[in-house]
Amino acid sequence: MPYYHSLGTIPHKRHTQFRKPDGSLYSEQLFSTEGFSNDYSLLYHCHPPTKIIEAEPGYSVAPDIAEEKMLKHRCFEGFQLKPGGDYLQSRVPVLVNSDCHLVLAAPNNGTGDYFYKNADADELIFIHEGSGVLHTVYGEIAFEYGDYLVIPRGTIYQINFETENNRLFIVESFSPIRFPKRYLSKFGQLMEHAPFTERDLRAPSILRTFDESGNFVIRTKKKGMMYHLHYGTHPFDVIGWDGCCYPFAFSIHDFEPITGRVHLPPPTHQTFEANNFVVCSFVPRMYDYHPLAIPAPYNHSNIDSDEVLYYVDGDFMSRKNVTRGMITLHPAGIPHGPHPGAVEKSIGKKETGELAVMVDTFHPLMITRQALELEKTDYTMSWAE
């Protein structure tokens, strides 16, 4: 995170005595990234955050890989994923590699009475349908359609939906999710040329302190296994915190598109980055304004990256038969571009209303068995029409 935030009550100096009204000490916790060498926050608990009273055996939640190697364009109808279950039960990995997992979910319910912690990966949750509140140890964040929720690994949270029908596109990143370096000053501020600013980010705003004892289950994901850890005190017993590492929300509708006289490449739309992949936001925007401009994207070769596009809403003039929630995979090694007739059809168009999330990975993606159940098998030959 590029800026400092504080919520609740904290002591004047870190690592010093901070006492409750009854004279006992609050328990300080350092939540740090990359050891002690990067962003961190300090949280002050009513009780030590270490009181495990039971640890259940783990069980596998690792993706079931169907194809490790392939070289053809693929398409998956994301909204064919049947809705149901709670937040964790509904999560289905679709495309995966050692850098990230791309996951679909269609939960009817949130986390209920359990808590969740992903100990392996930062999570980027795109809200395609639904609204609700993300409850975390740092406080609460309300979310709705179009929001990205960025949750640092190790964050304990619950997610509650106000809606029954919810659709999520989730990126699990095994390296920290950051803003693109070219958007940041040498001191970490988002610069004038960036397509969004700190003003567009929503940090946790309401901190509720639960000073409670009992049996609280934190479902914790680690190395493809899920462990149920029981704690003797409520994990949301924080009285205050400060720092630069915490969950936040950013709406895709607040992404300000960059346009030009001729067609600009996909990095123009970049929103986040991590090791070996980037995330881009395609939003409504004016088309290119050179008098001879061709608004449709040019054919391009995926020399060293797999390109995944998750279609959200709007009209996509470069591609036929697009549906909401569709995922296309254009792997490294073969070129792709507009469907036949789309280039000529785009000439003279002034604007687009498309909304999509793109993930470009620099290591090949593998396809899960659940993804094959959603596949549109005739997509590969759709350029031959």
CA dist., res. 329 & res. 332, Å (int): 10
Nearest residue to 143 via CA among 157, 156, 154, 159: 159
Distances (CA, A) of 256 to 190, 251, 294: 13, 11, 21
Nearest residue to 202 via CA among 114, 285, 127: 127
The 10s digit of each residue's pLDDT in 187-209 is 899 999 999 999 999 999 999 99
**Residue found by looking up tokens 């998750």 in the block:** 310
Q: pLDDT-derived band of residue 318, with 50, 70 and 90 as boundaries?
A: low
The 10s digit of each residue's pLDDT in 163-187 is 999 999 999 999 999 999 999 999 8
Question: What pLDDT score was predicted for residue 29?
Answer: 97
**Residue found by looking up tokens 């140890």 in the block:** 137
Distances (CA, A) of 159 to 55, 179, 209, 309: 23, 24, 17, 25
Indicate if the pLDDT at residue 294 is higher than 70: yes
Domain boundaries along the sequence of the chain: 52-64+82-234+247-252, 254-377
Q: pLDDT-derived band of residue 44, with 50, 70 and 90 as boundaries?
A: very high
The superfamily in CATH containing domain 52-64+82-234+247-252 is Jelly Rolls (2.60.120.10)
The 10s digit of each residue's pLDDT in 250-273 is 999 999 999 999 988 888 999 999
Decide if 63 contacts 363 (C-beta within 8 A).
no
Helix (H/G/I), strand (E/B), else coil: 32: strand
Question: What pLDDT score was predicted for residue 162?
Answer: 96
End-to-end CA distance of the chain: 47
Indicate if the pLDDT at residue 223 is higher than 70: yes
Decide if 145 contacts 131 (C-beta within 8 A).
yes
Distances (CA, A) of 86 to 20, 116, 276, 318: 37, 12, 31, 36
What's the one-letter identity of residue 336? H
The 10s digit of each residue's pLDDT in 107-141 is 999 998 999 999 999 999 999 999 999 999 999 99
Q: Do domains 52-64+82-234+247-252 and 254-377 have the same CATH topology?
A: yes
Q: pLDDT-derived band of residue 242, with 50, 70 and 90 as boundaries?
A: very high
Mean per-residue pLDDT over the chain, rounded: 94
Q: What token pair was written down for 224?
A: 């493809």
Decide if 208 contacts 235 (C-beta within 8 A).
no
Q: pLDDT-derived band of residue 385, with 50, 70 and 90 as boundaries?
A: low
Distances (CA, A) of 188 to 178, 184, 243, 282: 11, 5, 14, 24
What's the one-letter identity of residue 255? F
Question: What pLDDT score was predicted for residue 381?
Answer: 86
Mean pLDDT in residue range 320-325: 86
Indicate if the pLDDT at residue 52 is higher than 90: yes
Q: pLDDT-derived band of residue 316, with 50, 70 and 90 as boundaries?
A: confident
The 10s digit of each residue's pLDDT in 351-379 is 888 999 999 999 999 999 999 999 999 88
Sign of CA dihedral 71, 329, 226, 38: positive
The superfamily in CATH containing domain 254-377 is Jelly Rolls (2.60.120.10)
Q: Model pTM?
A: 0.96
Burial class (CB in 10 A: 0-12, 13-18, 19+), 41: buried
Question: What pLDDT score was predicted for residue 380?
Answer: 87
Question: What pLDDT score was predicted for residue 2?
Answer: 57
